[in-house]
Amino acid sequence: MSSVEYALDSGAIFPRDAQAAASHRRASVDAPFLAAVRGEKPSRRPIWMMRQAGRSLPEYRAVRKDVGMLEACFDADLVAEITMQPVRRHDADAAILFSDIVVPLKAAGVDLDIVPGRGPVVSNPIQTIDAVRGLPIVEREQLDPIVQGIGGILGELRADQVLIGFAGAPFTVASYLVEGGPSKNHEVTKSLMYSHPDIWHALMRQLTPTIVRFLQMQVEAGVDAIQLFDSWAGYLTARDYRQFVAPYTAEIFQAIKPYGVPMIHFGVGTGELLGEMAIVGPDVVGVDWRVPMDAAAARVKAALEHAHPTAKPEVKAKALQGNLDPAVLFAGEDVVTEHIRRINAEADRAIERGQARGHIFNLGHGVLPNTDPDAITRAFEEVHRS
């Protein structure tokens, strides 16, 4: 691969050398995570958990004492330490970069903070075309602490462990900006989307280069895979997703694809959107706990066959990630074991039928704050035994 260029409307994405970026990655090609993505038989079933680096760990609470969330996200030493804590404790097959979806916005100069007990809060919500035009696009040097943190992580991971970078997808990031913070119903977001589609599309076009640049920076710093979180996409209909979201999400995946790293797409409550989310271009589709893995695989396969009827068979199936209900970790070891084995059997059936390429075990959302860390470790051990 040689240099690639993406001409987004803002002109913010400039040529990057994907081949040079690949030279920074140090994970073995046989790492279980990477083998599963390719559809090969991994040496063990890979597992990592969303929010595995978080409030469930006493060591996390210790290093975060008196340190704000965003302050920690821009401290290279803390980024590396917090990312590695669950990997050391649970023998995870993948580390997920400690960060937050609003980090690139904060780095670019957007006035926002992460308020304990509430989440990201934006001082001046974006609801007019002038506000959209004034939204800054992140510069690479503004992300230097994250680059340095990635370097610290790579020096500690084993060759069979991968580092996953991530970013928030445009719809979810836009929702925080429009609502001014978390929302239960996203009524302000949807109202803007429906009544002022010109403003909505302008906002999505303005956000896309920042998200691409944030992911490019992580890949160029050496991450082995990326995950694009569309946490709130489950509030949309399939028609709305196709019209208001899919073109921008697809553009992001298209921009990262030449780097050759696996790309995961995940959202909460997106059972009815799994096919749409597969079509936009990821290699792996994340599944929350509401849909059985084999049913999810069938939905994804059907959507891909409809979208690409003449494509090669490998294009018509994706690897799947998921999908233990986080609450099950509170139910005792026997119950956790039962659910893990059920999920693995569902995924294996999908693979045998040619409806999925591989399986990466994960939760159907994130680790809950009060989860017993030992219960998490035992879950990792059970998955590795299966």
Could you list the residues known to form a binding site for substrate, using ranges. 51-55, 100, 176, 231, 365
CB-neighbour burial class of residue 52 (10 A; exposed 0-12, middle 13-18, buried 19+): buried
Specify binding-site residues: 51-55, 100, 176, 231, 365
Nearest CA among 196, 206, 252 for reference residue 228: 252
State how far the alpha carbon of 372 is from the alpha carbons of 64, 188, 282, 338, 343, in Å.
18, 37, 32, 18, 21
Catalytic residue set: 51, 55, 64, 100, 176
Nearest CA among 209, 232, 210, 204 for reference residue 119: 232
d(CA 58, CA 85): 10
Q: What are phi and psi of 323, to 5 degrees?
A: -150, 50
Please provide the DSSP assignment of 28-93 as one string: -TT-HHHHHHHTS--SS--B--BT-SSTT-HHHHHHTTT--HHHHHT-HHHHHHHHHHHHHHHT-S
List the Cα angle 183/186/187 in 5-degree steps: 125
Q: Strand pairing of 16-17 and 3-4?
A: antiparallel
CB-neighbour burial class of residue 116 (10 A; exposed 0-12, middle 13-18, buried 19+): exposed
Within the chain, residue ranges assigned H as helices are 18-22, 32-38, 58-63, 69-73, 76-90, 103-108, 129-133, 144-154, 170-179, 187-195, 197-221, 238-244, 246-256, 274-279, 293-307, 333-352, 373-385
Nearest CA among 226, 211, 221 for reference residue 37: 226
